[in-house]
Amino acid sequence: MVTGERCYLTLTYTGYQTLRFRVPRSEKVRLRTIKLRRIKFDFGDPPVIRYGKDG
């Protein structure tokens, strides 16, 4: 075990908020549930593309 260093875990997934937290140094194994938050995208109005002829 290395002392004096901090360990961090960073989770990233497209469409979700990045989560970073410190990992405690311990000999005990602890399971943890991690929930990522969805990022809301606002692209505004989608473009309208029209093909063909008027007539």
Enter the tokens of residue 48: 């309208």
CB 6 within 8 A of CB 18: no
Average pLDDT over residues 33-54: 80
pLDDT of residue 21 exceeding 80: yes
7 has a pLDDT exceeding 80: yes
User: What span, in angstroms and rounded, lies between the C-alpha atoms of 35 and 49?
Assistant: 39
Poorest-pLDDT segment among 4-8, 24-28, 35-39: 24-28
Distances (CA, A) of 41 to 15, 16, 21, 35, 37: 8, 10, 24, 19, 13
Q: Are 21 and 32 in contact (CB under 8 A)?
A: no
Residue 3: what pLDDT? 59
Supply the pLDDT for residue 14.
85
Q: What is the pTM of this model?
A: 0.51
